A and B are shown apart, each in its own frame.
Chain A
């Protein structure tokens, strides 16, 4: 029983990191109609930003985390300026935007590889090595830290989107981009806000993941693919759906590791996603709320 709870907590820890990217993918798609496949690059970019800050500026965990988030924001805005703003009003935007983000991740990955080399880098443990025991289950500090900081980040973003003027603009873009532009919401300006916020989320996930695993020029790829899968299962465009999907997939990961073995995680995960999508082509959010049509 104990190890199941342990695995579930493991699953939730991983899911909370991937969930951040999933929500970022989801928001970008629903607000801008852009399938951003360069989150892998933004992830590595933010990770290297944090690593450089830790090396050359100041090693305090909060500062490193903040610098990682800042680097993520810069990466996101860069993608927005290079791909979204030039192409968003051109024909075949969806496919051109997607390929543009892929091109950026290709170029960016190679540039990171040239500058930092293929050797993996490790960020320090931010949350110390403390342990907490609740009912026979030992929780390590980094797990609590990861779960808490992603929940804080997600809550902040959701609160910001619910209560601020900019968030209102983004939500209007999600509901109907044409109507939003008619009532005077600037598509380009909103694009920059959206990409900055989603870049910050990716940056945070990069910092959190790179302290447990490692950081390399292409280490963002698997988190991005997992994030995209979660976003897909949750329904593109829905934050709630993405959160639910992240939790379900976290449980799935834990249970599969326990009963079948770690090799089969991806298989059960995709079987789950395909089953959900065959029942609900718009993902879990197809039940919860309306997703963007195109």
Chain B
């Protein structure tokens, strides 16, 4: 509190003393000087404890300065920012703050760091099985990321992903056995195999759309399975083809082998994430986001060659899948026939749907869940497939787009509930809705209406046969408290549509009318009933008002 200027001045000196002023005090002991503004400030200060408001008040927001808004960390040498931040002013304290608009990079970074240090923090007893599962997770997550590129980014519903990986794995294994290729050649050759298969599979995709193509690729998968299992070259009898060169030396200690497997799977995952980022987030991905399903005509009219972009993405991911196939062969020294089975397709679909189709985070998280159920909980036996089936059923029955769609689904649901609550509030008389309240210029009106509504609700509880009877006996004059309150409210009503008694013939004919509330516009007749006496007319008017009150 620097503005409270407290100076120590123990004595007061009369400024006139130097001229020899007579009388009075020349020097007096006096209390310390206090800022006369302080009492004003103290009185004015807002002493009520202020709670933080807003949806994310618990979140840390770094302070900001107007000049610093554009001063951000960037990926050298581009202009790309590392985190998407926005400078805003706090609605309540008016302090400048920096908020992070997209927090996903933080979560990605933390989870990847966790994966890197996992071998050092896992419990010793489970380390081996968990790390093996981690290596499998890296490979499957990479496959699913490429698949997400095909299904999500390119919008081609292909189920032949594992067929490409499998064909590449089998062909490279065969080449490695027969030509003695070293392990680092296998992914390279796998890329060409993937490209060749990608071209073959992409041909029908140019003509077919959606699920027609999906069913066709399901058949192609079966074709690959039958071709490989029945051909003699690929070891029809042994359940798979093994014997390829590998980067994992069998002479190493078992733990070293596992660690190499784990980190090579992790490196593959990182590479797949980069591929996803640079295909989905760059030009191709942007083009395809303009051309979602059933809006292709618009994209075409905008000058976007979406077909070419789709096929390009498909071929890129096929090359990547071929690479993964070669990697798979070098990782496992070969491949089993299982990779073509329908079961693998179901498992892959489970992985990408549980997380959410078309999202990198969904593909990786779904893969993690399924790999944990499938490879870590091995002692459950066949039950784990039933668990996976139930997880899938739960996802499709209750979630719109997998786990990572929950956030949006929850917000939609909350907005829907809000809207329902708002519309139900409309029935409860007269009070302004939030959107009306922001529109109206006269804010007093909001409170007048709220008070009026409360009063009417209270008055409704007073209405009973007794007070109606009392009014009938004596419309004018002193009444009981309940009736008096009701009458006061009626009398205080606004001029428009206020009921009045009209005298047609004095002491013989009375009628009830309603005022227009507008100067120069005549009142209107509300009913044809003729009352004999003015008291009866008063009572009739009273009943009419009570009816209006009870109905409002």
Closest chain B CB from A153 CB (angstroms)? 23
* Residue pair B212, A232 in contact (C-beta under 8 Å): yes
Q: Check A35 against B215 for contact (C-beta < 8 Å).
A: yes
* Contact between chains at A104 and B219 (CB < 8 Å): no
Interchain CB contact under 8 A, B400 and A87? no
Q: Is the CB–CB distance between B389 and A107 below 8 Å?
A: yes
Q: Judge whether B204 and A100 touch: CB under 8 Å.
A: no
CB neighbours of B227 from chain A (8 A):
266-267
Cβ–Cβ contact A110 & B223, under 8 A: no
Contacts of B400 in A (CB 8 A): 90-92
User: Chain A interface mostly helix, strand, loop or mixed?
Assistant: helix
Q: Does B392 count as interface, using CB distance less than 8 angstroms?
A: yes
Give a binary string over A1-16; 1 marks a CB under 8 Å from any B CB, 0 the rest: 0000000000000000
CB pair B342 A110 closer than 8 Å: no
The 20 listed contacts between A and B (C-beta, < 8 Å) are A35-B214, A82-B393, A83-B396, A92-B400, A95-B353, A98-B214, A99-B395, A100-B392, A100-B397, A102-B350, A103-B392, A103-B396, A107-B386, A107-B389, A263-B226, A266-B223, A266-B226, A270-B219, A273-B219, A294-B294
| Bound Cα distance A197, B357 (Å) | 32
* The 9 residue pairs across chains A and B that have the minimum distance between CB atoms: A107-B389, A103-B392, A106-B389, A96-B396, A100-B396, A103-B389, A281-B207, A229-B219, A110-B385
Residues of B contacting A186 in the complex (Cβ-Cβ under 8 angstroms): none
Answer yes or no: B284 CB below 8 A from chain A CBs.
no
Closest to B409 in A: A91
Q: State A110–B227 Cα separation when bound (angstroms).
A: 26
Q: How far is the CB of B122 from chain A (nearest CB, A)?
A: 30
Residue of A nearest to B211 (CB): A35
Pick the contact of B382: A105, A113, A281 (CB < 8 A): A113
Q: Which of B208, B230, B349, B383 contacts A281 (CB 8 A)?
A: B208
Choose among B209, B215, B294, B353 the residue that contacts A228 (Cβ–Cβ < 8 A). Answer: B215
B397 touches A86 (CB 8 A): yes
Known: A110-B385, A113-B382. A94 touches B211 (CB 8 A): yes
B392 and A92 within 8 A (CB): no
Chain B residues contacting A92 (CB-CB under 8 Å) are 400-401
B276 to chain A, nearest CB (A): 20
In the bound complex, what is the Cα–Cα distance between A261 and B505 (angstroms)?
A: 114
Q: Is A236 an interface residue (CB 8 A)?
A: yes
0 or 1 for each of A75-90: is its CB under 8 Å from B? (1 = yes): 0000000110011001
Q: Is the CB of B204 within 8 A of A277?
A: yes
Known A-B contacts: A104-B389, A106-B392, A232-B212. Give 4 more (CB < 8 A). A100-B392, A103-B390, A103-B393, A107-B389
* A226 smallest CB distance to B (angstroms): 8
Give the complex CA separation of A108 and B214 in angstroms: 23
- Asked if A98 and B211 sit within 8 Å, CB to CB, the answer is yes
Partner of B397 from the list A87, A222, A231 (CB cut-off 8 Å) is A87
Question: Which residues of chain A come closer than 8 Å to B214, judged between CB atoms?
Answer: 35, 98
User: Of the candidates B219, B220, B294, B386, which one forms a contact with A110 in the assembled complex, judged by CB atoms under 8 Å apart?
Assistant: B386
Answer whether residue B48 sits at the interface, using C-beta atoms and an 8 A cutoff.
Answer: no
Q: Indicate if A278 sits at the interface (CB-CB under 8 A).
A: yes
Q: B353 near A99 (CB under 8 angstroms)?
A: yes
Most B CB within 10 A of own CB, among A90, A97, A99, A103: A103
Q: How far is the CA of A270 from the CA of B218 in the complex (A)?
A: 11
